Amino acid sequence: MLSHPDTIIEVNKISKLYSRREAATRGRFARLAGRSLLGLKPKEVSELNQGEFWALNDISFSLKRGEAVGIIGFNGAGKTTLLRILSSQILPDSGEINILGNSASMIDLTAGFTASASGRLNIYYRGAALGRTQQEIESTIDEVIEFSELGDAIDAPFSTYSSGMKMRLAFSIMIVSEPDILFIDEVLAVGDFQFRQKSLAKIREIRERVAFVLVSHSMNTVKLFCNKAILLNKGEIAFQGDPEEAIEIYEKMLIPSKVSKNQRHNKTLNPQFHNDKTISDVEHFWCDEFGNPIDEIQSGQDLHFHVSFKLNYRPRNLIIGVPVWTDAGVYITGFSTPRATKGLVAMPNKKTQFRLKVPSQAFNPDEYISNLAVNDGPEFLYRGANPVLKVTGTGREYWGHVTLPHVWESVPISKADSDGVNEPHNYSQKSEAYSADPRFVFNGKNSIEAGTSSFDAPYEIKVILRSQSESVKLKRTDISPPMPFLAGAFSVFQLGVTYGFATNGKIVAEGGVAQKKQEINLSVDKAGVGRIIVEGEVLWSGEVGGEKPLKIGMGIRSRYWRGTVFKFEVQEYSELGRSKKAPRKPAKFDLFADYIEEGK
Amino acid sequence: MNRDIGKTLTVIRSDTRHNKGFFGSLAALFYEVYQYRDQIRSVYKKNFRNSYNGTGLGVAWNFILPLVPLTVYLFLSQIRVFPSFEGVDRATYVCFGVTVWFVLTGFVQVPMSIVASRTKEAMKTSIPLSSSIVSSFADLVFETFVRIIFVICIMVFMQLIPSATAPLVLVVFSAGFFLFFGAGLILSVLNAIYKDFERVTDIILRYGLFLSGVIFPIGKSDISILLSNVNPFAVFVNASREIVFEGYIVNWIPLLLWSSAGLIIFLIGCRLFYVMEFKLREIV
């Protein structure tokens, strides 16, 4: 009997004995068979024979409908054994399990399928294997086929299916039955991204009606899906309770205390290598912007790395790389010089020095270990450990190992979306109506292009971006649809206005996201070299095609600000080096931060 | 509304199955077979299709293969490889004997081969081994049916009329089923402890044919008579043949004794198999 009326599964002190020796297993089996022939009940295990061990020992927990327990632990901790016992595939050696209602297990999902039979027949075979009657199978077969998205392939032999298709069919058969308790081994969702989302949506749909026991190595899945967790260690419950707490303990257990930090680091950073016949006087360390060595830095600050060495020959393709790992050995990123180019230049027998700059490094607080690798093409010349870098926090919350720049905003729903009708806007007409300067043409593809077909390089456009929020207090009507929270918190230009070059409508270079009141200078010289200069600093320069006529463009490239109108004004511009003031009444443009696919 | 009303409470314990006695185990196995009847049907269909899948002759193979051993023994007997004897003509004698032999040995072999080959699948899919055994029996029944048709054709050809007691052969078969199937279940469990059981059984079933009056009579010497009484295969083969062609059973005492033993062995086998099934899944 269940001890609580809401409980639908109760596991009470179950244990399972396994043996590493086949002879011991057979011996125990023979004794049990003998007792059974004599009509005697099995004896309780009083002592373990040689090679025997408890795969599970004294496991107890209970679940109510709508609850999900995550079972975590190392390989061999007994997770799958527990799941097999719960799903009645094997019996415990002691203890008791009470299950109210039907259960289904997703342990070996594709087990029991017949390769030569069609997917449709396999639905019958598998359904029958799960103890369902012909009528029950027939009543759900359409749902299974539809859910699996196999379409006409359902009548093709199972052996012709890709592994993804097999998993989809197997998962669909299981999930459509909607059991009372679902035992899942890692496979919370299967298939490609789209199908996984669909599977997860189905799981979410039945979440409140079903109890879940999930065995997983994905801590994230356990954290997000389960409301309790059991940490198994060598067959015993090491912790039972809050998933986050269980994961924390598990992760601590992952790093064996007996292994020293150095040993751990060496394991990650090795092999080390130094071809002293080709490279010498190698110096490398993390440093500040002046080249002074550092061993600690705050999250978000600019990080620098110094490397100097002497080569005794002229390398054909000098590559320098700095792979970075966390203290626990998780590979985070690598800072490498480009591999596709001819590489860096180093003169033979002369000291060569390079400086790496990582602007606003995104590492979260931790200790980071790294290597310096110096290569000539595929050949390693040097590979050595850098000093450990400690990254300290800023007091802000963080998750994972890096915090990338990001902004969360509420996305307004356009009228077309809210009506369910996706009517294309005629941006050009509206923008042109605002345009006072005929040399600035809105091209209808999210960008304003400066110049017309009559403009040839060299040409320069100098634009001071200034949001209306600076000079005029923003009213709701300034940004459409209304987003009042933008007014104080952000400049509209931080939200998705990028700038760059477009040659005949094709973007050849883009700058970053424009900040408010930045002076951005885009120019092309006679040789067809373009430059993006932001606040006097050359951000980018390179070939912009040399095709004529050349158009230099500015535009919005964000897809997240659908239907939003941003306003800015041109204050001055210059043409062929002659600076011109903008008209007294500056030309105004509406830029629609809308994502329009090419050709629309 | 409480959605749990009417739901079945399943209790999983190490000794859940040990609580059942002989008849309880038998009933549980029957219930298991009933519960998985659709699985048995679908597996039988699957096996039937698989046996000819991709062949040119197609479903004809399912009729040809069961007849191959019959025709070989028939050929050997017709060229007088085996000793001569009186009574029923050679062709009918051999074909009938071989048909009965395959039925009886099938009762032993099916559970043994299923336990040896399907336990891993049983663990992964939770399909009870009993349903796999029964679906394999369906194969045996079909093959026997094909062979019986063949035997009837030969009898028609030879203008041999069976006795009025011929339908009673089913009773003999049933008694044989209890004995040999029960033995098969016990052997399948013992085989999990020592593989020797499979080897020994294989030898007995391969060569026992020549000592069981299947393709020629055992003989009339004292040893032969003793052998025909203590060899259960010989007892059931002879009894089947006698009841079909002669209308009476000459040695009914050994038949009665073996049939009684068969009932006991069947009950023991069913209980042992039922109790040990989960352990079998772990060990094989």
pLDDT tens digits, one per residue of A569-580: 333 444 434 444
- Higher pLDDT pick, A98 / A529: A98
Asked which of A128-142, A496-510, A525-539, B261-275 is least confident by mean pLDDT, the reply is: A496-510
Q: Min CA distance, B252 vs chain A (Å)?
A: 30
- Residues A196 and A117: beta-carbon distance below 8 Å: no
Per-residue pLDDT, averaged over A490-501, amounts to 41
* Contact between A520 and A463 (Cβ < 8 Å): yes
CA A115 remoteness from chain centre: 35
| Chain A CB contacts of B21 below 8 Å | 39
Determine, for residues B283 and A29 on separate chains, whether the beta-carbon distance falls below 8 Å: yes
Of A36, A37, A108, the CB nearest to B124: A108
A580 beta partners: A573
Mean pLDDT of chain A: 71
Residues in A touching B9 (Cβ below 8 Å): 1-2, 98-100
Average pLDDT over residues A536-549: 60
Q: B12 and A92: CB-CB below 8 Å? A: yes
- pLDDT for B102 equals 93
> What part of A 191-210 touches B (C-beta under 8 Å)?
209
- Higher-pLDDT residue of A370, B42: A370
pLDDT band of residue B59 (cuts 50, 70, 90) is confident
A98: contact with B, CB 8 A cutoff: yes
Q: A-chain residues within 8 Å CB-CB of B53? A: 116
pLDDT category of residue A539 using cuts at 50, 70 and 90: low
Rounded to a whole number, what is the distance in angstroms from the first to the last CA of chain A? 65
pLDDT at A555 over 70: no
CB pairs under 8 A between A and B: 142
Least confident of A44-53, A206-215, B183-192: A44-53
Q: Please give the pLDDT value at position A506.
A: 52
8 Å CB contact of A111 and B125: yes
DSSP A186-218: S-SS-SSHHHHHHHHHHHHHHTTTSEEEEE-S-
CA distance A111 to chain B (A): 6
What confidence score (pLDDT) does residue B98 get? 92
Termini Cα distance of chain B: 46
Which pLDDT value is given to residue A391? 93
Amino acid at A249: I
Q: Are A72 and A33 in contact (CB under 8 A)?
A: no
Q: Is A231 helix (H, G, I), strand (E, B) or coil?
A: strand
Better pLDDT: A459 or B42? B42
What's the distance, CA A274 to chain centroid? 35
10 Å Cβ neighbour count for A203?
Answer: 19
Q: Which residue has the tokens 């409908």?
A: A65
pLDDT score of B86 more than 70 = no
The mean predicted confidence, pLDDT, of chain B is 86
Which residues of chain A does B265 touch, with a Cβ-Cβ cutoff of 8 Å? none
B180 falls in which pLDDT band (50, 70, 90)?
A: very high
Cβ–Cβ < 8 Å for A295, A326? no
Per-residue confidence (pLDDT) for residue B240, from 0 to 100: 93
Structural Rg of chain B based on CA atoms: 21
Residues 6 or more apart whose Cβ sits within 8 Å of residue B49: A116, A117
pLDDT band at A471 (very low <50, low <70, confident <90, very high): very low
d(CA A528, CA A548) in angstroms, rounded, equals: 10
Q: Give how far the C-alpha of residue A431 lies from the chain's centroid of Cα atoms, to the nearest Å.
A: 38
pLDDT band at A325 (very low <50, low <70, confident <90, very high): very high
Please compute the mean of the pLDDT values over residues A432-461 and round it to a whole number. 35
pLDDT of A455: 32
Q: Does A139 touch chain B (CB under 8 A)?
A: no
Confidence tier at B110 by pLDDT (50, 70, 90)? very high
**Residue contact B272–A99, C-beta within 8 A:** no
**What digits encode the pLDDT tens for the residues B217-256?**
877 778 888 888 899 999 999 999 999 988 888 888 999 9
Query: DSSP secondary structure string, B242-266?
Result: HHHHTSS-S-HHHHHHHHHHHHHHH
Q: Which tokens is A324 given?
A: 């970075």
Q: How confident is the model at residue A585 (pLDDT cuts 50, 70, 90)?
A: very low
Cross-chain CB nearest to B18 (options A36, A96, A112): A36
* Residue A290, both tokens: 């002046």
Instruction: Inspect the interface and report whether the beta carbons of B53 and A65 lie closer than 8 Å.
Output: no
What angle, rounded to 10 degrees, do the helices at B169-193 and B196-207 form? 150
| A-chain residue closest to B195, CA distance | A26
**CB A98 to CB B9 under 8 A?**
yes
Q: Measuring CA to CA, how many Å separate B271 from each of A43, A79, B19, B184, B198?
A: 18, 31, 11, 13, 20
What does residue A389 show for φ and ψ, rounded to 5 degrees?
-110, 125
Q: Residue A36 is nearest to which of B8, B35, B276, comparing CB atoms?
A: B276
Shortest CA gap B246–chain A (Å): 40
pLDDT, tens digit, 9 for 90 and up, residues A367-413: 999 999 998 877 888 999 999 999 998 877 788 888 887 777 655 55
Helix (H) or strand (E) holding B225: helix B222-230
| Domains in chain A: ranges and CATH | 265-390 (2.70.50.60), 415-593 (no CATH)
Q: What percentage of chain A reaches a pLDDT higher than 70?
A: 66
Residue A473, Cβ density class (10 Å: 0-12 exposed, 13-18 middle, ≥19 buried): exposed
Rounded CA separation A82/A600 (Å): 56
Interface contact A26-B123, CB threshold 8 A: no
Which residues on neighbouring strands pair with residue A304, listed in sequence order?
Answer: A287, A357
| DSSP label of A44 | P
pLDDT at res. B60: 86
Calculate what percentage of chain B has a pLDDT beyond 90. 38
Q: Which residues make beta-bridge pairs with A97?
A: A11, B12
Residue B126 has pLDDT above 90, yes or no: no
Query: What are the structure tokens assigned to B225, written together?
Result: 């008579």
Model ipTM over 0.95: no
How much is the pLDDT for A228? 92
Mean pLDDT check: name the lowest of A97-106, A187-196, A329-338, A442-451: A442-451
Q: For A255-306, what is each residue's pLDDT tens digit? A: 665 557 787 788 888 888 888 888 999 999 999 988 899 999 998 889 999 9
Partners of A233 in beta bridges = A236
**Candidate from A36, A108, A128 with C-beta closest to B38:** A128
Tell me what pLDDT residue A189 has: 66
User: CB contact, 8 Å: A107 with chain B?
Assistant: yes
Q: Which of A91, A109, A135, A177 to mutate to test the interface with B (most CBs of B within 10 A)?
A: A91
- pLDDT bucket at A76, cuts 50 / 70 / 90: confident
Q: SS3 for A563?
A: coil
Rounded-to-integer distance, Cα A115 and Cα A248, Å:
43
Between CA B85 and CA B88, with CA B86 as vertex, the angle to 5 degrees is 105
| Gyration radius of chain A over CA positions | 33
Least reliable range by pLDDT among A79-83, A158-162, A273-277, A445-449: A445-449
Residue A421 pLDDT > 50? no
Residue scoring higher pLDDT (B87 or B262):
B262
